[in-house]
C-alpha cells in the first residue's frame, strides 16, 4: 500500500525526504527510515552522466520516478524542473506522473531550459503570470485529491529579495499550489529563516538544506517548515565511496582492504528482494554459492 505525502502531512512534525535516482536508492532511503523520496533532477541527470540542465527528456525523468514509485511504499516527490515547457506540457506531465504512482510533483519558476540552482549562469525567472498558468494547468490535470503540486520559488537563487520571494509564493498559493518550496543557496539558514518568518503559513513550506546543511531539521520545524529534502547527499556519498574503492582495488592489487568497507552481498540480495524468489532451485543454489 502506497502512503501519500498528503496523508503524512496531516500528522504533526517535519517530514524528511532523501534524494534518489533509482529504485535501489529509494529502497535505501526507505530502509533507513526516511519519510519519502525526492526523485532528484540533479541525481537522475548525474546518473546519466549529463548536466542538470534540461538535457534529459520528460520521459527519462518519468521512467526514473516510476521505477522508484514501484519499489517503495513511502511517497515519491518528483522534481519536475520547470514542468518541461508551457502549461500544456505541464498538464501532460502531471497526468503521466500521477499515473506512475508519484505522490507530488515540484515545478520551479524558471524558464525552460533551466540549469541547476547551484550552477553559475544565466538563470531566467519565469514571470508570475506565466508560472501561475503552469500551476493552474497542473492542478486541473490531477485526477485524485491526494496528488500534490509543489511550487518552487527560485527568487532567492537568482539574487532577488525576500519580499519578491514572498510575493511570488503568495501568487503561487493563490493559483492553487499545495506547498511552497523556498530554495536558497545561502551558506547559512538566514534566508530561509527570514522567508519563513514572513510567510503566512497558508501552505506548507519545503526546504532543501544543501548549502545550509548544518541546520538540524528540528530548527526548520520551529519555523513552520513541514518538509526537509536532503536532495543529493546520497549520490555524493556513492560517488566518493565508489571512486575510493575502485582506486584502492587498482592500487593495492586485490579486494582485501576494501572488503570491510563495502556492503556485503547479503545486503545487495536483501535490497533486491531476493527472498521471495528463493523457492527457485536455480536462484537458491546461486545465492548459496556466494556465502
Active site residues: 52
Q: From the list 3, 47, 116, 167, which residue makes contact with ligand SPV (rule: CB under 6 A)?
A: 116
The answer to whether 17 and 35 are in contact (CB under 8 A) is yes
CB of 159 to ligand SPV, least distance (A): 15
* Stretch 70-109 residues interacting with ligand SPV (CB under 6 A): 79
Residue from the set 126, 232, 234, 235 that interacts with ligand SPV by CB under 6 A:
232
Residue closer to ligand SPV (CB basis): 159 or 281: 159
Under a CB-based contact definition with an 8 Å cutoff, are residues 37 and 69 in contact? no
Nearer to ligand SPV by C-beta: 19 or 83?
Answer: 19
Q: Which helix (H) or strand (E) holds 79?
A: strand 76-79
Among ligand SPV, Mg ion, none, the one that 22 touches (CB under a kind-dependent 5 to 8 A) is: none
Contacting range for Mg ion; rule: CB under 5 A; set: 5-13, 33-41, 60-68, 162-170: 33-41
- The answer to whether the beta carbons of residues 77 and 5 sit under 8 Å apart is yes
Among positions 69, 76, 210, 225, the unique one binding ligand SPV when judged by CB under 6 A: 210
Ramachandran area for residue 253 (φ above 0: left; ψ -120 to 50: alpha; else beta) = left
- Nearer to Mg ion by C-beta: 152 or 194? 152
Binding mask 15-54 for ligand SPV (x = CB under 6 A): ----x--------------------xxx---------x--
Q: What x-and-dash track marks residues 45-84 binding Mg ion by CB under 5 A?
A: ----------------------------------x-----
199-230 burial by CB neighbour count: b if 16+ within 10 A, else e? beeebbbbbbbbebeebebebbeebebbbbbb
Cell of 84: 518541461
117 in contact with ligand SPV (CB under 6 A)? yes
CA distances, 10 to each of 2, 28, 31, 242, 263 (Å): 16, 25, 23, 39, 36
Q: Which CB atom, from 175 or from 206, has the smaller least distance to ligand SPV?
A: 206
By the 8 A CB rule, do 109 and 154 touch?
yes
Min dist CB 232 to ligand SPV, Å, is: 6
- Helices 58-69, 87-99: inter-axial angle, 10-degree rounding: 30
CB proximity list for 159: less than 8 A, separation 6 or greater: none
Main-chain phi, psi angles of 242, to 5 degrees: -65, -45
Size of the site for Mg ion (CB under 5 A): 2
| 210 touches, from ligand SPV, Mg ion, none (C-beta below 5 to 8 Å by class) | ligand SPV
For residues 291 and 289, give the distance between their C-alpha atoms in angstroms, rounded to a whole number.
Answer: 6
* Residue 43 sits in the site that holds Mg ion (CB under 5 A): no
Q: Which three cell numbers stand for residue 230?
A: 536532503
CB of 256 to ligand SPV, least distance (A): 36
| Residue 41 interacts with Mg ion (CB under 5 A): yes or no | yes
Residue 84 and residue 107: Cα distance in Å, rounded? 9
Q: Which residues lie near Mg ion (CB under 5 A)?
A: 41, 79
Q: Which residues lie near ligand SPV (CB under 6 A)?
A: 19, 40-42, 52, 79, 116-117, 208, 210, 231-232
Amino acid at each position: 500500500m502506497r502512503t501519500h505525502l498528503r496523508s503524512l502531512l496531516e500528522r504533526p512534525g517535519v517530514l524528511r525526504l532523501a534524494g534518489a535516482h533509482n529504485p535501489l536508492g529509494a529502497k535505501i532511503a526507505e530502509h533507513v527510515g526516511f519519510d519519502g523520496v525526492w526523485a532528484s533532477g540533479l541525481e537522475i541527470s548525474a546518473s546519466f552522466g549529463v548536466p542538470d540542465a534540461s538535457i534529459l527528456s520528460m520521459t527519462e525523468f518519468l521512467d526514473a520516478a516510476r521505477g522508484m514509485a514501484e519499489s517503495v511504499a513511502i511517497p515519491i516527490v518528483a522534481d519536475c524542473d520547470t514542468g518541461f515547457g508551457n502549461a500544456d506540457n505541464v498538464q501532460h506531465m502531471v497526468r503521466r506522473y500521477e499515473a506512475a504512482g508519484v505522490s507530488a510533483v515540484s515545478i520551479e519558476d524558471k524558464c525552460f531550459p533551466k540549469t541547476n540552482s547551484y550552477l553559475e549562469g544565466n538563470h531566467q525567472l519565469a514571470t508570475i503570470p506565466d508560472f501561475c498558468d503552469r500551476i493552474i494547468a497542473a492542478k486541473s490535470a490531477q485526477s485524485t485529491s491526494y496528488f500534490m503540486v509543489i511550487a518552487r520559488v527560485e527568487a532567492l537563487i537568482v539574487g532577488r529579495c525576500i519580499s519578491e520571494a514572498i510575493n511570488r509564493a503568495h501568487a503561487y498559493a493563490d493559483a492553487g499550489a499545495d506547498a511552497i518550496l523556498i530554495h536558497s543557496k545561502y551558506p547559512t539558514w538566514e534566508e530561509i529563516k527570514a522567508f519563513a518568518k514572513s510567510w503566512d503559513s497558508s501552505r506548507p513550506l519545503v526546504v532543501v538544506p544543501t548549502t545550509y546543511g548544518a541546520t538540524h531539521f528540528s530548527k526548520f520545524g520551529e519555523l513552520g517548515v513541514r518538509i526537509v529534502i536532503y536532495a543529493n547527499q546520497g549520490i555524493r556519498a556513492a560517488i566518493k565511496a565508489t571512486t575510493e574503492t575502485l582506486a584502492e582495488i587498482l592500487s593495492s592489487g586485490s579486494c582485501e582492504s576494501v572488503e570491510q568497507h563495502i556492503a556485503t552481498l547479503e545486503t545487495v540480495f536483501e535490497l533486491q528482494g531476493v527472498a521471495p524468489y528463493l523457492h527457485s532451485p536455480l536462484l537458491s543454489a546461486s545465492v548459496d554459492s556466494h556465502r
